[in-house]
Amino acid sequence: MRWLTAGLLVLLSGPAQAKDLLFWNETGHEFTGVFLAPAGTSRFGPNQTDNDPDHSVGADERLKITGVAPGRYDVRLVDKSGRTCVVRNVEAKGQGRVAFTIDEDQLTDCAP
């Protein structure tokens, strides 16, 4: 009976869970850190580059973003040199396709 209850809970909770999204890095930088927080907050989640075999996302590469639902996010990016940039109020749209891109012009809030 317990396994049946557990199975039903998994089935019922499935549709409400966030699906994988894709981030397309349209900058000229390789990032070893990609973190998302609900827009306007500092509650950044886990490093999404951990989803990639080499734990980075290069220029013109796509990265699977997990555990995040479509919505608006602040994105913190850390490049290979350690420079950190925050791109605010990025809209992550849809699921199963490129949800958001970040290009060079958006890297304005950066610190060494």
Instruction: Specify the CATH number for the domain of residue 59.
Output: 2.60.40.2890
Q: Is residue 38 part of a domain?
A: yes
Q: Is 32 part of a structural domain of the chain?
A: yes
Note down the domain range covering 94.
18-106
Q: How many domains does the chain have?
A: 1
Write down the number of H helices and E strands in the chain. Answer: 1, 7
pLDDT computed for residue 66 by the predictor: 94
DSSP letters spanning 29-49: --EEEEEEEETTS------GG
> Residue 1 falls within a domain, yes or no?
no
Q: What is the pTM of this model?
A: 0.82
Question: 32-76, pLDDT tens digit by residue?
Answer: 999 999 999 999 999 999 999 999 999 999 999 999 999 999 999
Predicted confidence (pLDDT) at residue 6 exceeds the cutoff of 70: no
**For residue 108, what pLDDT is reported?**
95
Residue range 14-36: mean pLDDT, rounded: 84
In a domain, 13, yes or no: no
Tell me whether residue 10 is in a domain. no
In a domain, 2, yes or no: no
The pLDDT-based confidence of 18 (bands split at 50, 70, 90) is: low
> Is 52 domain-assigned?
yes
Q: In the chain, helix, strand, coil percent, each to 5? A: 20, 40, 40
CA–CA gap between residue 35 and residue 78 (Å, rounded): 9
Query: Closest Cα to residue 100, out of 77, 70, 78, 76?
Result: 70
Angle at 87 between CA 17 and CA 79, to 5 degrees: 95
- Look at residue 69 and tell me if it is in a domain: yes
